[in-house]
Chains A and B, each alone.
Chain A
Amino acid sequence: MNTNLKISNVTKIYPGCVANDNVSLEFNSGKIYALLGENGAGKSTLVKILSGVIIPDEGKIYLNENNLELNSPSDAKKNDIGMVFQHFNLFETLSVFENLIIDSDEERESLREKIDSIMRKYNFSIDLDIPVLNLSAGQKQKVEIIRCLIRNPKVLIMDEPTSVLTEQETSELFLSLKKFSEEGILIIYITHKLKEVMQLCDEVAVMRRGKLVSVSEIKNENIESLANKMVGQNLKTIKKKKVKTSSDQLIKITNLNFTSEDPFETNLMDINFSVNRGECLGIAGISGNGQSELFQVLSGEILSDKNSIEFYKNYIGDLNPQERREYLMAFSPEDRLEQAAIPQMKIFENVALNNFKSSNFFNNGLINENKIKEHSKKIISDFNVNTDNIDLKSQFLSGGNLQKLIIGRELITSPDLLICFNPTWGLDVGAINYIHETLIKINEQNKSIILISTDTDELLKLSDKISVIHKGRLSKIMDSDEVTSEKLGILMGGGN
């Protein structure tokens, strides 16, 4: 049977922002639809409305001409709308089977048969009786999908499903989605990754600042045209000029190990690498393979053996971040809101977090507010942070502006080495471009970068050398000219 889903004049207003501005869209089964937009464009709000998580201020949803009253996620389930969220909603310590039956009132036995037949049909192979925490991200996602399929959904919504998957897992997912679509399930695929839209979808709806800006067939679009629609301006492409880097070694990591007491952390095993001046070393990997631990070991949040880190002829493995900064190292952690900055504190107070002796932020134990403010103003103008009020709490900066502030704070002391972890995660294209340009500029000034990122495109664009981290081990270091994203994908998945 044909399924028709209609969104009619949906509006949702939050204080200070219109998340959905009179959006109308129509979907028909048999096709895969992409909902494309930058972060904050309103696509998540729209699908949350479809799945009953958010109630719109105005507008109606029709499924096969029936007006749906979606006041809670269970209403959406009752109306055969299934959703797989970006972050998994699974109980890590329960078994796969227990996770699947948890919100169902069917008999255990018949459910088990149903699950088995779904898995046979779509070629999923997951052991139903092992705890979820033993599954890979791709398998966890399959569990979430099975959970939807049990209910024979008419509509399946996937919210940024590939952010945690390897290339191989992604192509498996795409095969499954195509199969679902052939069987008459209406698929709505939310993403900001243009390549995936081109690969997978039949139609694409682009959102920008809460408004629907275009609906078109994929065959009439290409990556550039979609990118321009998404951003609303013509993007310049940035490219790193390859220069011969020096052989002047700046940092050298030797036999670095880290064993964590926390079972949810990854142990680092036998890490060895070095970075020369003016070089950018990219470290690729799927999140959760030890990147966070590696960042902390490099920044000094986790101390290690003194001799395991050599920084320009000094052994600094046992120094804390504050002490390492004095050797001209700078750090930009992944988590902007919970680590790199404190949203409840003012902009200038956040600047003082990177306390460099020579910046004189604190004299004889007293706060030197004028100095900090002066410094903050310079960061804001030098790094294009879009505000003129340094007394503003930093929670009122957009993600892009906050990241510029953080990168600016780290760079204004002109460090020899910047270590950054997912510096453009969750940012819009404009801010990403700015950060990328900044990082390229650092290399041009003969300063070095260690870039830990889960974004392969970013790594290929910015790095001179690339290594892959998998289960706490680093692959051999490769020249980035000789690496393709396919090769990285294989290494990220643990292959050779």
Chain B
Amino acid sequence: MIKIVKRDQPSRAIFFFTPVLAIFLTLVAGGLIFYILGFKPFEALKFFFIVPVADMYGLSELLLKATPLCLIAIGLSFCFKSNNWNIGAEGQLTFGAIVSGGVALLFYEQERFFILPIVILAGAIGGMIYASIPAILKTYFNTNEILVSLMLVYVSKLILDYLVVGPWSNPEGFNFPETRQFSDSARLPLLFEGLRIHAGIFLALAAVVISWFVFYKTYLGFQMKVSGFSLKTAKYAGYKGKKMIILVFLISGACAGLAGVGEITGPIGQLHREVSPDYGFTAIIVAFLGRLHPVGIIFASLVVAITYLGAETAQIFMQIPKYTGQVFQGMILFFLLASDYLLFFKFKLIGSKK
């Protein structure tokens, strides 16, 4: 007979094992879905997870998608570790893109070395401004940050929509909903000839290192950790709870804003309606799959980035909608939450006695 028993202490090994298990279960369930749809499961999974990254171009695309996911997830990990449920990173990304795009358009047709740093900074500030709204409403008016941050996503998308259709639309653009192309000085340099991977990846890597340092080596990180476990304890210790909440929102907004900068100044080079294929939402899955740990987030962002690529390949080769990618992302989160049960419980074989 199998019995479920509570674990005395969740081991470190199981803590990192369950995300792997979740990915495995996702593959099994995905294969099953493909089988039901009438495809050969192994072949379909190959198209989904191996073909897209089989060449240099594929790898570059993988890193291109993983960069914003990683950057946003790192920012979100600050919020989530301290129990602030910012799920509006998509909005912070969009607003960051709007502000940095606006600055880039100001320098339209100018080539100066200082333009790119200003554009990047503007994106971070844009994200911070947008993230400060739910933070301030939460700390001073007791609103629920989940609702506020989520609803602000749609506000930012509508603002972007208005700008690219209206005042900022390209005068020579035949009424396409997009702005002028940014000048080269406002664009993140490409790393390799012919590939789309750009310097934004260094921003993500810097975020990883900095967040690791802050979390594990600084008093600030310690305070965040304590506040995350128990606000009552944080209050008792004398930490400034409200400042802490606003701070983590600002960090998270800045990261999302930078991801927005990467999108518009990297591969796209202009503002248009859809600056992000929901990176801000998907990054929530990445953050949890990576256990809110900087290194874990790197791996998780690569895994989840594949689902974006796989969905595109599957659409081309197997004529299935690219939304399958979202199905896979959903399954990863689902199985992760389910297998987290193993953190607290274990199965035990016991001899049947009569």
B186-222 to A contact mask, C-beta < 8 Å, 1/0: 0000000000000000000000000000000111111
16 contacts between A and B (CB under 8 A): A15-B8, A300-B238, A301-B235, A321-B236, A322-B239, A323-B238, A338-B233, A340-B233, A345-B226, A345-B229, A353-B226, A353-B233, A354-B237, A366-B217, A366-B218, A366-B219
Known: A339-B232, A340-B236. 12 other contacts (CB 8 A): A16-B8, A301-B236, A322-B238, A322-B239, A339-B236, A342-B230, A345-B226, A352-B222, A362-B219, A366-B218, A366-B219, A367-B221
Do A365 and B235 have beta carbons less than 8 Å apart? Answer: no
B1 at the interface (CB under 8 A from A): no
B residues neighboring A (CB under 8 Å): 5-9, 217-222, 225-226, 229-230, 232-233, 235-240
A299 at the interface (CB under 8 A from B): yes
Do A320 and B238 have beta carbons less than 8 Å apart? Answer: yes
Do B233 and A341 have beta carbons less than 8 Å apart? Answer: yes
Q: How many angstroms between the C-alpha atoms of A157 and B183 in the bound complex?
A: 81
Q: How many angstroms between the C-alpha atoms of A134 and B6 in the bound complex?
A: 39
Chain B residue at smallest Cβ distance from A369: B217
What chain B residues lie within 8 Å of A362 (beta carbons)? Answer: 219, 222
5 A-B pairs with the lowest CB-CB distances in the bound complex, closest first = A322-B238, A321-B238, A362-B219, A339-B232, A342-B229
What chain A residues lie within 8 Å of B235 (beta carbons)? Answer: 301, 321
A82 at the interface (CB under 8 A from B): no
A344 at the interface (CB under 8 A from B): yes
A333-375 to B contact mask, C-beta < 8 Å, 1/0: 1010011111011000100111100000010011100000000
Do B238 and A325 have beta carbons less than 8 Å apart? Answer: yes
| Distance to closest chain A CB from B310 (angstroms) | 37
What chain B residues lie within 8 Å of A341 (beta carbons)? Answer: 233
Q: How many angstroms between the C-alpha atoms of A36 and B217 in the bound complex?
A: 49
Do B219 and A393 have beta carbons less than 8 Å apart? Answer: no
Do A15 and B218 have beta carbons less than 8 Å apart? Answer: no
A122 at the interface (CB under 8 A from B): no
| Distance to closest chain B CB from A364 (angstroms) | 9
A1-37 to B contact mask, C-beta < 8 Å, 1/0: 0000000000000011000000000000000000000
| Distance to closest chain A CB from B353 (angstroms) | 10
A311 at the interface (CB under 8 A from B): no
| Distance to closest chain A CB from B314 (angstroms) | 41
What chain A residues lie within 8 Å of B226 (beta carbons)? Answer: 342, 345, 353
A327 at the interface (CB under 8 A from B): no
Total number of residue pairs linking A and B with CB closer than 8 Å:
66
Chain B residue at smallest Cβ distance from A325: B238
Q: Report, as a range, how many residues of chain A touch the other chain.
A: 20 to 34
Do B230 and A339 have beta carbons less than 8 Å apart? Answer: yes
What chain A residues lie within 8 Å of B9 (beta carbons)? Answer: 393, 396
Q: How many angstroms between the C-alpha atoms of A353 and B226 in the bound complex?
A: 9
A400-413 to B contact mask, C-beta < 8 Å, 1/0: 00000000000000
A97 at the interface (CB under 8 A from B): no
What chain B residues lie within 8 Å of A396 (beta carbons)? Answer: 9
Q: How many angstroms between the C-alpha atoms of A335 and B231 in the bound complex?
A: 13
What chain A residues lie within 8 Å of B8 (beta carbons)? Answer: 15-16
What chain A residues lie within 8 Å of B219 (beta carbons)? Answer: 362, 365-367
A383 at the interface (CB under 8 A from B): no
Q: Name the contact of A367 in the complex, choosing from B6, B7, B217, B230 (C-beta under 8 A).
A: B217
Do A15 and B5 have beta carbons less than 8 Å apart? Answer: yes
Chain B residue at smallest Cβ distance from A354: B237
Given contacts A338-B233, A340-B233, A342-B229, contact A367 B238 (CB under 8 A): no
Given contacts A300-B238, A393-B9, contact A342 B220 (CB under 8 A): no
A189 at the interface (CB under 8 A from B): no
| Distance to closest chain A CB from B331 (angstroms) | 29
A159-176 to B contact mask, C-beta < 8 Å, 1/0: 000000000000000000
What chain A residues lie within 8 Å of B240 (beta carbons)? Answer: 320
Do A344 and B229 have beta carbons less than 8 Å apart? Answer: yes
| Distance to closest chain B CB from A344 (angstroms) | 6
Q: How many angstroms between the C-alpha atoms of A352 and B237 in the bound complex?
A: 9
Q: How many angstroms between the C-alpha atoms of A338 and B230 in the bound complex?
A: 7
| Distance to closest chain A CB from B128 (angstroms) | 21
Chain B residue at smallest Cβ distance from A340: B236
Do B218 and A365 have beta carbons less than 8 Å apart? Answer: yes
| Distance to closest chain B CB from A13 (angstroms) | 10
What chain A residues lie within 8 Å of B218 (beta carbons)? Answer: 365-367
A238-259 to B contact mask, C-beta < 8 Å, 1/0: 0000000000000000000000
What chain A residues lie within 8 Å of B229 (beta carbons)? Answer: 342, 344-345
What chain B residues lie within 8 Å of A16 (beta carbons)? Answer: 8
Which residues of chain A from 271 to 301 have a CB within 8 Å of any chain B CB? 299-301
What chain B residues lie within 8 Å of A349 (beta carbons)? Answer: 222
Chain B residue at smallest Cβ distance from A396: B9
Q: How many angstroms between the C-alpha atoms of A78 and B233 in the bound complex?
A: 44
Question: In the complex, which of the residues B8, B221, B226, B237 has the most CB atoms of chain A within 10 Å of its own CB atom?
Answer: B237
Q: How many angstroms between the C-alpha atoms of A396 and B10 in the bound complex?
A: 12
Q: How many angstroms between the C-alpha atoms of A341 and B234 in the bound complex?
A: 10
A309-331 to B contact mask, C-beta < 8 Å, 1/0: 00000000000111111000001
| Distance to closest chain B CB from A114 (angstroms) | 41
Q: Name the contact of A365 in the complex, choosing from B7, B220, B225, B237 (C-beta under 8 A).
A: B220
Q: How many angstroms between the C-alpha atoms of A367 and B214 in the bound complex?
A: 10
What chain A residues lie within 8 Å of B238 (beta carbons)? Answer: 300, 320-325, 355
Q: How many angstroms between the C-alpha atoms of A323 and B237 in the bound complex?
A: 10
What chain B residues lie within 8 Å of A354 (beta carbons)? Answer: 237
Q: How many angstroms between the C-alpha atoms of A354 and B219 in the bound complex?
A: 13
Q: How many angstroms between the C-alpha atoms of A335 and B220 in the bound complex?
A: 25
| Distance to closest chain A CB from B169 (angstroms) | 47
What chain B residues lie within 8 Å of A299 (beta carbons)? Answer: 236
Q: Name the contact of B237 in the complex, choosing from A355, A366, A393 (C-beta under 8 A).
A: A355
Chain B residue at smallest Cβ distance from A302: B235
Question: In the complex, which of the residues A323, A341, A353 has the most CB atoms of chain B within 10 Å of its own CB atom?
Answer: A353
| Distance to closest chain A CB from B156 (angstroms) | 33
What chain A residues lie within 8 Å of B232 (beta carbons)? Answer: 335, 338-339
What chain B residues lie within 8 Å of A321 (beta carbons)? Answer: 235-238
Question: In the complex, which of the residues B217, B226, B230 has the most CB atoms of chain A within 10 Å of its own CB atom?
Answer: B230
Chain A residue at smallest Cβ distance from B6: A15
Question: In the complex, which of the residues B6, B232, B235, B236 has the most CB atoms of chain A within 10 Å of its own CB atom?
Answer: B236
Do A345 and B225 have beta carbons less than 8 Å apart? Answer: yes
